[in-house]
Amino acid sequence: MKTLFASILLLSPSFLAAQTCYSTVPETTSTARFTLNNDGTVSDSVTGLMWQTCSYGQSYDADTTSCTNSAIKTSWQEALRASVNDRTANHDDWQVPNNKELASILEHSCVTPSINEVIFKGNKSENYWTSTSGVIDPGFAWVYTFDRGLNSLHAKTSNVYLRLVRYED
C-alpha cells in the first residue's frame, strides 16, 4: 500500500510542482540585470554574456515568449559541435559555457530549477554541460544540475542538456 501511495504521489501533477524560491535567501540573478532580446537570446549586464533563452534543441517563440520543441541531451563532444553549428539570432560564435559562466546564471534562492525562470525558458531540473574538463581525468567534464544548483563531474560520453552562450558584441 505504501508503494502504491508513493507512486501516485510521485506521478501526481501537484508533486511535480513549480519552482520553489526562498525569500530569506538573496537573489543572485535578479531579472533587472538581464535584457530579453526577443530573438531567442538574453543579455547579462553583469557578465557581458549573451545566453540562449531556451535549452539546446528548443526554439524560442517570441509571440508566446516560450520555448517550443523538446530540449536535447548530447554527449560533451556533440555539445561542442552543436555550439559551432548553431546560428541562433544570426550569431555564429556560440560556445558551451565554462564552469564559471554557467555558474553565473544559477539562482541560489530557488530550486527545481535553480535558474531565473522569468528570463530563462525551457529549463530542465537536470544536468547541463560546461566546457570545463576534469583535471585528474580529462574524460570527464563539469556539469551543473539545475535542480539544486550543484556541480559535479560526468563522463563526456554521458547525455546531458545544454545551454549555449557567447560574448556580447
The reply to whether 13 falls in a domain is no
SS3 content of the chain, % helix, strand, coil (to 5): 20, 30, 55
pLDDT value, residue 16: 53
- How far apart CA 79 and CA 165 sit, in angstroms, is 12
Q: What is the pLDDT of residue 13?
A: 41
- For residue 88, being part of any structural domain is answered with yes
CA–CA distance, 71 with 119 (Å, rounded to integer): 17
State the pLDDT confidence band at 138, using cuts at 50, 70 and 90.
Answer: very high
Higher-pLDDT residue of 14, 131: 131
Segments forming the whole domain that contains residue 35: 18-167
Beta strands in 7-160 (DSSP E): 20-21, 34-36, 41-44, 49-52, 59-61, 66-68, 110-111, 127-133, 140-145, 150-155
In a domain, 5, yes or no: no
Q: What contacts 98, CB < 8 A, 6 or more positions away?
A: 130, 131, 132
User: Where would I find the beta strands (DSSP E) of 56-161?
Assistant: 59-61, 66-68, 110-111, 127-133, 140-145, 150-155
Residue entry with cell 533587472: 32
- What does the pLDDT read at residue 169? 79
Q: Is the pLDDT of residue 155 over 50?
A: yes
CATH number at residue 39: 3.10.100
The grid cell for 94 is 556560440
Arithmetic mean of pLDDT over the chain: 91
- Global pTM reads 0.87
In a domain, 3, yes or no: no
Domain count, the chain: 1
Beta carbons of 115 and 123 less than 8 angstroms apart: yes
Q: pLDDT grade, residue 18 (50/70/90)?
A: confident
What is the pLDDT confidence band of residue 81, given thresholds at 50, 70 and 90?
Answer: very high
Question: How many whole angstroms separate alpha carbon 116 and alpha carbon 153?
Answer: 24
pLDDT (0 to 100) of residue 9: 40
Assigned domain for 98 exists:
yes
96 domain residue, yes or no: yes
For 25-66, write each residue's pLDDT tens digit.
Answer: 999 999 999 999 999 999 999 999 999 999 999 999 999 999
Is the pLDDT at 137 greater than 70? The verdict is yes
Give me the mean pLDDT over the 95-112 stretch.
Answer: 96
Q: How far apart are CA 114 and CA 104, in angstroms?
A: 11
DSSP designation for 74: B
Judge whether 2 lies within some domain: no
